[in-house]
DNA sequence: TACCCTAGCGTACGACGTAAGGAGTTGTCT
DNA sequence: AGACAACTCCTTACGTCGTACGCTAGGGTA
């Protein structure tokens, strides 16, 4: 159940993160030819992280996937923390870095957000990683670069856009987290979403019989107008999460378009 | 470096979470008197989590703080996962559950958000916990209840408010995460924020000399108009994070006030 | 008094990250 | 060609983790 915190030593992570992949004719010097590459280790680790739902990323598991002992990995990677930094940046390479053909910046921002949500849903462990760390690697940086490129079309200033960018990342990561939760939860019991929620509700009713009296507002929020069925394909919770993202995006982009986003006076 | 994922078995966590604290004259039956209480274990664990910056929450550490061996804890708590669920809900008890005197719902929502950010900044490990889990415990539930009570003053419907609530949580958690990062990072090197960033920038310049050409938009975003000094008290990054939260709140509450938040047609 | 339920502890097991050092391979230099 | 040095990979081992198991001993109830 242990997970990770992306606490790799930046001084050791960064040369690996920004390593030149193209330089194929790299010096090699004496010694046996390496049987592995950093890329191989990274993609094996991504595979392990994707499979073992959150926790089971261990050096031994990665090594086994490569047919090697755990200690062999330390030839390519300084330690587990740095490996986590590498796989975190690595998955961001899956995103389309350059402008897809979108009509206008609003559509482009929306597409950017949906791509990023999809990425985090594919690799939910990534949402656990970047704690106590700024942007470190090239692929994550490219994601930011692509967003800013889109947003500059609005003509807004850097101070405003910095805030907009922050809010966008919070919305995307929060949404992805909710969706990932919604997907993982029923998987454990292998029941349908409805069954899972019914079981949970029954449990709650037994432990807290007076729930409705103690939390009337929550009852109202959950109950009112909730047909409680998704569109048949997307589970209900996930559908809700995506709607919430749409709302957040809409109000933010409205504000940006209207130019009503305030910048604090400089002397503040 | 291991952290946690809040994967406690709900069937075992929930009776503990919702235990009746008031019932002092609880049955006890034969056997030696319990030397500890669940509350004592929980608050010791919260202390350990606060001290050992993210990682060092171990059963042995909690036990040592209580003058007990690790195995003694298993009398009160089924396992570590469930203990994590307990301390996660436990810290939410620090919040004022009931309406503080705020003039109007906008001020009240803002106060709610700031209180919650402050809570997560005090206990940054809590941001790591709630992965793959919905609201489970009474204190977290009370936080939601308080928010909904405020928002109902707007007269908006449940479908709209569900989305607003989601966005608010994403903003708060994202902001708190950024602030927590900003506080932890320089602590490690024990230098000032400026020095830390200067060091990081030098490192980056050495590893990626062509950064400015590869990421011009990022350079523009970071550079333009950034006096790069906080107000002297609050560090720069934290100041930025709070401004971003303010922007996010403003646009969201503007949208709510204007009634422009769309609800998808029911048949969808 | 007899009983038995239960709190707390000691021991132990398997998994984890990784330090240390040895074995074997391969380039470069004399 | 031969010697050396650099390098990969493995074995072994240490300390820490969560926790299963079984014991001791204390204190209600009968």
| A211-238: average pLDDT | 77
Round the average pLDDT of chain A to a whole number and report it: 86
Contact at 8 Å (CB) between B58 and B79?
no
Give pTM, 2 decimals.
0.92
Supply the pLDDT for residue B23.
54
| A164-193: average pLDDT | 83
B4 pLDDT above the threshold of 60: no
Supply the pLDDT for residue A232.
57
A206 CB-contact burial (10 Å; exposed 0-12 / middle 13-18 / buried 19+): exposed
**Is the CB atom of residue A56 positioned under 7 angstroms from any atom of strand C?**
yes
C-alpha B246/C-alpha B241 separation (Å) is: 9
Q: Within its chain, how far is the Cα of A198 from the centroid?
A: 29
The more confident residue out of B33 and B268 is B33
Contact at 8 Å (CB) between A17 and A77?
no
Supply the pLDDT for residue A126.
93
The DSSP-derived string for A77-97 is: -S-HHHHHHHHHHHHGGGS--
Supply the pLDDT for residue A2.
41
C-alpha B29/C-alpha B173 separation (Å) is: 44
C-alpha B225/C-alpha B239 separation (Å) is: 15
C-alpha B160/C-alpha B152 separation (Å) is: 11
The DSSP-derived string for A89-142 is: HHHGGGS--S----SSHHHHHHHHHHHHHHHHHHSTTHHHH-SS----SHHHHH
The DSSP-derived string for A193-224 is: HHHHHHHHHHHHHHH-TTHHHH-HHHHHHHHT
Supply the pLDDT for residue B44.
96
Confidence of residue A188 (pLDDT cuts 50, 70, 90): low
Percent of chain A exceeding pLDDT 70 equals 83
A80 pLDDT above the threshold of 70: yes
Supply the pLDDT for residue A198.
79
Q: CA B245, B250, B256: angle at the middle one, nearest 5?
A: 125
Q: Among A30-34, A93-97, B188-192, where is mean pLDDT lowest?
A: B188-192
Please report residues of B whose CB lies closer than 8 A to that of A197. none
Q: Which of B158, B166, B243 sits opposite A163 (nearest CB)?
A: B243
Please indicate whether, in this complex, the C-beta atoms of B141 and A255 are within 8 angstroms of each other: no
Confidence of residue B197 (pLDDT cuts 50, 70, 90): confident
In angstroms, the first-to-last Cα distance of chain B is 45
Instruction: Give residues with Cβ within 8 angstroms of B13, minimum separation 6.
Output: B78, B81, B82, B85, B86, B136, B137
C-alpha A148/C-alpha A134 separation (Å) is: 17
Taking only residues 29 to 58 of chain A, the set having a beta carbon closer than 8 angstroms to any beta carbon of chain B reads: 54-55
| A149-156: average pLDDT | 95
Please indicate whether, in this complex, the C-beta atoms of B128 and A127 are within 8 angstroms of each other: no
Residue B163: both structure tokens together = 């989305």
Contacts by A183-187 with C-beta closer than 8 Å and gap 24+?
A183/A121, A183/A124, A183/A235, A183/A238, A184/A53, A184/A124, A184/B132, A185/B132, A185/B133, A185/B134, A186/A235
Nearest Cα neighbor of A189 from A179, A180, A178, A199 is A199
At B142-181, the pLDDT tens digits run: 999 999 999 999 999 999 999 999 999 999 999 999 998 8
Supply the pLDDT for residue B267.
44
Listed as ranges, the nucleotides of chain C within 7 A of a protein C-beta are 3-11, 15-21, 24-28
Q: Is A218 on the interface with B (CB under 8 A)?
A: yes
Contact at 8 Å (CB) between B167 and A248?
yes
The more confident residue out of B265 and B18 is B18
**Three-state secondary-structure class, residue A53:** coil
Please indicate whether, in this complex, the C-beta atoms of A255 and B260 are within 8 angstroms of each other: no
Supply the pLDDT for residue A268.
41
Contact at 8 Å (CB) between B82 and B137?
no
Residue A245 CA to C29 C1' — how many Å?
A: 65
Q: CA B196, B117, A145: angle at the middle one, nearest 5?
A: 50
Round the average pLDDT of chain B to a whole number and report it: 85
Q: Is A175 on the interface with B (CB under 8 A)?
A: yes
Q: Within its chain, how far is the Cα of B187 from the centroid?
A: 20
Taking only residues 84 to 103 of chain A, the set having a beta carbon closer than 8 angstroms to any beta carbon of chain B reads: none
Residue B79 CA to D20 C1' — how many Å?
A: 12
Residue A29 CA to D2 C1' — how many Å?
A: 19
Supply the pLDDT for residue A19.
84
Q: Among A210-219, B78-87, B231-240, where is mean pLDDT lowest?
A: B231-240
C-alpha A235/C-alpha B30 separation (Å) is: 49
Please indicate whether, in this complex, the C-beta atoms of A132 and B180 are within 8 angstroms of each other: yes
- The residue of chain B nearest to residue A244, with distances taken between CA atoms, is B163
Instruction: Give residues with Cβ within 8 angstroms of A170, minimum separation 6.
Output: B170, B171, B173, B174, B175, B244, B248
Contact at 8 Å (CB) between B87 and B128?
no
C-alpha B214/C-alpha A20 separation (Å) is: 14
**Side-chain-side CA neighbours of residue B100 (13 Å):** 14
Please report residues of B whose CB lies closer than 8 A to that of A160. 247
Residue B209 CA to C21 C1' — how many Å?
A: 38
**Side-chain-side CA neighbours of residue B87 (13 Å):** 32
Instruction: Give residues with Cβ within 8 angstroms of A89, minimum separation 6.
Output: A17, A136, A137, A138, A139, A140
* A66: nearest nucleotide, CA–C1' criterion: D9
Residue A104: both structure tokens together = 């206008």
Confidence of residue A228 (pLDDT cuts 50, 70, 90): low
Residue A210: both structure tokens together = 């007076």
Q: Is B230 on the interface with A (CB under 8 A)?
A: no
Please report residues of B whose CB lies closer than 8 A to that of A11. 203
């Amino acid at each position: 159940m242990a997970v990770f915190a992306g606490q790799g030593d930046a001084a050791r992570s960064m040369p690996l993160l920004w390593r030149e992949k193209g330089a194929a004719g790299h010096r090699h010097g004496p010694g046996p030819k390496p049987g592995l590459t950093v890329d191989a280790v990274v993609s094996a680790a991504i595979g392990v992280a994707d499979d073992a739902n959150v926790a089971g990323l261990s050096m031994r598991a990665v090594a086994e996937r490569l047919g090697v002992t755990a200690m062999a990995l330390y030839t390519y990677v300084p330690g587990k923390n740095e490996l986590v930094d590498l796989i975190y940046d690595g998955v961001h390479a899956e995103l389309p870095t350059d402008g897809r053909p979108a009509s206008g910046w609003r559509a482009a921002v929306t597409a950017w957000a949906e791509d990023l949500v999809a990425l985090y849903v594919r690799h939910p462990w990534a949402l656990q990683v970047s704690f106590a760390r700024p942007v470190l690697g090239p692929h994550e940086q490219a994601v930011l670069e692509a967003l800013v490129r889109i947003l500059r079309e609005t003509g807004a200033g850097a101070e405003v856009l910095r805030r907009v960018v922050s809010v966008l990342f919070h919305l995307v990561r929060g949404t992805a987290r909710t969706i990932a939760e919604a997907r993982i939860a029923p998987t454990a019991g292998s029941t349908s979403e409805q069954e899972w929620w019914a079981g949970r509700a029954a449990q709650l009713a037994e432990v807290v019989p007076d729930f409705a009296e103690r939390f009337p507002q929550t009852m109202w929020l959950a109950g009112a107008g909730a047909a409680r069925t998704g569109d048949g394909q997307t589970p209900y919770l996930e559908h809700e999460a995506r709607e919430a993202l749409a709302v957040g995006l809409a109000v933010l982009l409205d504000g940006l378009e209207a130019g009503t986003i305030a910048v604090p006076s400089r002397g503040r």
